[in-house]
Amino acid sequence: MHIDSETLINALRNQGLRITEARRAVCSIVARRHSEHLTAASILEEVQADPAARADQSTVYRTLDALEEAGLLVHSHLGHGAAVYHLASEATHQHVVCNRCGTTAAVPAAGLSEWLTQLQETTGFEVDPTHFAITGTCPDCATTDT
Ligand SMILES: [Zn+2]
Ligand SMILES: [Zn+2]
Ligand SMILES: [Zn+2]
C-alpha cells in the first residue's frame, strides 16, 4: 500500500502547518503520481497549473521538506540533475542511471544487503543505500558505442 494524500495532509497538520489549497495540492500530486520520479520543480509546475492553489515556490518546497521531516517522503539523487521524491513506502529501491542518456532502472535494495552488511561492519557507518543512484551505461548506449 502506498501512502495516501490524507496521511500526508495529517502529517503536515501534526507539524502545526496550516492546511492551505497549495499544501493540499502538493500532497495530492505526491500521492497520485507516486510511481513517477518527480522533482520539486515538476511538482511546483503542476501545483501552479491550478490557479486556485495560488502556490509560490517557497510554500511548495517547504511543504516537501515538512513531508520529509515527517518521514513520509524521501528524496534520491539520480544523476547530475535535481533530486526526485518517493513516498517513504516505496523508497526501498536503488536506481541505476545511464550517464549518457539518463535512462533509469529500479533495483530492489534487498539485493544489496550482503554487501551493505559488510560495508557497515568494516566502516561502522549506518549506510543509506538508496540516497544516490549507481551510474553506468545502459544496454542501448553500450550498443551504439560499437
Ligand atoms: Zn540528498
Ligand atoms: Zn543510455
Ligand atoms: Zn525510484
Distance 85 CA to ligand 3 centre (A): 8
The predicted structure's pLDDT at residue 133: 93
The predicted structure's pLDDT at residue 1: 62
Three-state SS for 81-129 is: CCCEEEEHHHCCEEEEEECCCCCEEEEEHHHHHHHHHHHHHHHCCCCCC
The predicted structure's pLDDT at residue 80: 83
Domain shared by 48 and 19, yes or no = yes
Name the pTM for this structure: 0.85
CB of 91 closer than 8 Å to CB of 76: yes
Identify the nearest ligand to the CA of 82 by its number.
1
Domain shared by 82 and 99, yes or no = no
Distance 82 CA to ligand 1 centre (A): 10
**Residue range(s) defining the domain that contains residue 125:** 92-144
Assign residue 103 the CATH number of its domain.
Answer: 3.30.1490.190
Mean pLDDT in order along the chain per 10 residues (146 residues): 90 95 95 93 94 89 96 92 89 88 86 86 91 93 80
Distance 129 CA to ligand 3 centre (A): 13
* Burial annotation 69-90 (CB, 10 A radius, 16+ → b, else e): ebebbbbbebeeeebbbbbeee
Q: How many domains does the structure of the chain reveal?
A: 2
Domain shared by 53 and 98, yes or no = no
Q: Which three cell numbers stand for residue 1?
A: 500500500
CB of 2 closer than 8 Å to CB of 31: yes
